[in-house]
Amino acid sequence: MTHRTPLYLLLTIVFSLSSLMSFTSCNKDTDDDDVYSYSTSTQTTLITGFGLQDDSEVLASLDSVHFTVDYDKGLIYNADSLPVGTDISGLKVTVEFLNTVSSAIFNITGATSQADTTIEYTSSMSTKLDFTGKTVLTVTSYDKSQVKDYEIKVLVHKVNPDLLVWPQEWRRDLPGYDSNVVGHKAVKQGDLYRIMTYNGTVCNLLTASSPNQGTWEKQTLNLPFVPQVSSFTATDDALFVLAQDGALYTSSDGAAWSTCGVTWHSVLGAYDGRLLGIVAGTDGFYHDEYPHHDGFTASLVEEGFPVSHSSSMIFTDNTWTVSQQAMLVGGYDSKGDLSSDVWGFDGMNWGKINNSHSHSLPALADATLFSYYTYKTLSGVRRYGRQQTWFVMGGRKADGTLNGKIYLSNTQGIMWAEADSTIAQPGNMPNFYGAQAFVNFETLTASGASYMPRRVQSLITTWECPFIYLMGGYNDQGALLPYTWRGVYNRMTNYPVY
């Protein structure tokens, strides 16, 4: 079947005496009209713009979808694929040409709802096109000396790009795990990852340069004490762990350990070469650090401050403080109450961050806190911007049950909300507490990168992708979970188009 509509002059003729075309007059002895003599340049059939017309029933802001015109390959496509499930069987289009052309005809074959047909394009065309099959736009120059085919691809995501996935095939055995291990803690020290394990008799230290590394260097430690493995922490140049009696020990290499001469109730984390912790006094709990900075004075912990079982401490830069800020969530305060609060440290003082309990976290012990990303739609265009977001996973509730939800904050920890189904903890991941999370950037390589959709000015063949590694943790019976989970947004593994 052939559907034809009248052909009009599509655009104003662009004159360029130097390269695009030459204008000649007929023989002055005749009465013929002037004619145009086109060069054989590709400019005569060049498409300068292609777009979809607005149709909110199909997709909001459909007319803002950007299409790339690749003349050399004869290809028109949207590098940013449309959302999963977008119906592309009936779309109106607009086409822009550099020069006036003789004809531009769509050839549609193999579509689901539109029979094989040809449709001639005009600037006033209102016919909808089905892009579920193969669509080729054939452009003929004004003088009919040049013909160019463009295949048009309206790309639609096959999977949700904003889905945070934890594929089963990416799951790995937990480094250092065996059935006898009762304590397991992973930390990052500079560019190295360190794991301390303890089976009740033997303590090992494992080291690797990546959490995805297959083989970790193993070192058996001769400790003169029984370690609290959950307190294992690292600064850039030292390792620390509490003994069962609370004595703090340190080592520069894991081989030799020495006492720090202090006894602590708990370890909070490391900040700027100092270890931060809590010491129990006769009149309450106090903040302490090792070593002390100049002018340090021990102070009573703040009302509601967690003295044990808070999350690991993480770091972030924000617009409110000059120095780097550390953050932790949850834990038990000095009265034994389980907290839902978020606390921040600026290098000198602690302060409560979340003031709005209508948008707060649940009260959790041993939750996993880490900094990752979510995406937001940029104003006015169908394009997505990455924003830093704080995640909370796992943890024990006050009734002893384990949290299986993910909570997010993109307001520097002030307000929190439960993540939607695209960022939910997967069903095959058991609930847990006490796991460690790391974000590791890894280089991905595009296969056939020269043919990949792109909007960047120069060809990209590799890019850095941030993967989440969730290591260990314990189940509701207190047994160590023997896996390392690897997660990422689908979008981040796709070829970058910006």
The C-alpha atoms of residue 407 and residue 405 are separated, in whole angstroms, by 7
Q: Give the pLDDT score at 32.
A: 42
Name residue, tokens 């016919």. Answer: 127
Q: What is the DSSP string of 206-245?
A: EEESSTT-SS-EEEEE--SS-EEEEEEEE-SS-EEEEETT
Q: Give the pLDDT score at 4.
A: 43
What mean pLDDT do residues 44-64 have?
93
**Boundaries of every domain in the chain:** 2-153, 159-174+307-498, 183-301
9: pLDDT confidence band, cut at 50, 70 and 90? very low
Q: Give the pLDDT score at 43.
A: 87
DSSP three-state, residue 493: helix
Q: Which residues 6+ apart lie within 8 Å of 463 measured at CB? A: 443, 444, 446, 495, 496
Assess contact for 247 and 227: CB atoms under 8 A.
Answer: no
Closest Cα to residue 49, out of 6, 10, 17? 10
The C-alpha atoms of residue 69 and residue 455 are separated, in whole angstroms, by 10
**What is the number of alpha carbons within 13 Å of residue 258 lying toward its C-beta?**
5
Adjacency order of strands within the sheet including 258-263: 227-234, 239-243, 247-251, 258-263
Name residue, tokens 């017309």. Answer: 53
CB neighbourhood size of 124 (10 A): 8
153: pLDDT confidence band, cut at 50, 70 and 90? very high
Query: Residue 127 corresponds to which tokens in the numbers above?
Result: 């016919």
Assess contact for 403 and 396: CB atoms under 8 A.
Answer: yes
The C-alpha atoms of residue 159 and residue 154 are separated, in whole angstroms, by 15
Assess contact for 173 and 483: CB atoms under 8 A.
Answer: yes
447: pLDDT confidence band, cut at 50, 70 and 90? low
Task: Tell me which long-range contacts 210-213 makes (C-beta under 8 A, separation of at least 24).
Answer: 210/440, 210/442, 211/186, 211/438, 211/440, 211/469, 211/471, 211/484, 212/172, 212/440, 212/442, 212/467, 212/469, 212/486
Buried b (16+ CB within 10 A) or exposed e, 130-146: bbbeebbbbbbbbeeeb
The C-alpha atoms of residue 161 and residue 147 are separated, in whole angstroms, by 38
Q: Give the pLDDT score at 385.
A: 76
Give, in order, the Cα–Cα distances in Å from 231 to each of 246, 284, 381, 394: 10, 21, 48, 18
The C-alpha atoms of residue 207 and residue 253 are separated, in whole angstroms, by 11
Q: Which residues 6+ apart lie within 8 Å of 379 measured at CB? A: none
247: pLDDT confidence band, cut at 50, 70 and 90? very high
CATH class of 2-153: mainly beta
Q: Which residues 6+ apart lie within 8 Å of 342 measured at CB? A: 327, 328, 329, 352, 353, 354, 361, 409, 413, 414, 416
16: pLDDT confidence band, cut at 50, 70 and 90? very low
Name residue, tokens 């409560």. Answer: 352
The answer to whether residue 10 scores a pLDDT higher than 50 is: no
Q: What is the mean pLDDT of the chain?
A: 87
Model confidence, pTM: 0.79
- Alpha-carbon dihedral sign for residues 160, 161, 163, 165: positive
Assess contact for 211 and 442: CB atoms under 8 A.
Answer: no
For the chain, how are helix, strand and coil distributed in percent, rounded to 5? Answer: 5, 45, 50
The answer to whether residue 497 scores a pLDDT higher than 70 is: no
- H or E segment at 490? helix 490-493
- Alpha-carbon dihedral sign for residues 259, 260, 262, 263: negative
Assess whether the previous peptide bond of 167 is cis (omega < 30° from 0): no
Query: Residue 255 corresponds to which tokens in the numbers above?
Result: 């081989």
The C-alpha atoms of residue 454 and residue 436 are separated, in whole angstroms, by 36
491: pLDDT confidence band, cut at 50, 70 and 90? confident
454: pLDDT confidence band, cut at 50, 70 and 90? low
What mean pLDDT do residues 407-420 have?
92
Where does residue 306 rank: exposed (0-12), middle (13-18), buried (19+ CB within 10 A)?
buried
What mean pLDDT do residues 414-434 have?
95
Name residue, tokens 């004490």. Answer: 225
The C-alpha atoms of residue 73 and residue 69 are separated, in whole angstroms, by 9
DSSP three-state, residue 413: coil
The answer to whether residue 88 scores a pLDDT higher than 80 is: yes
What are the pLDDT digits (tens) for 177-196? 999 999 999 999 999 999 99
The answer to whether residue 94 scores a pLDDT higher than 60 is: yes
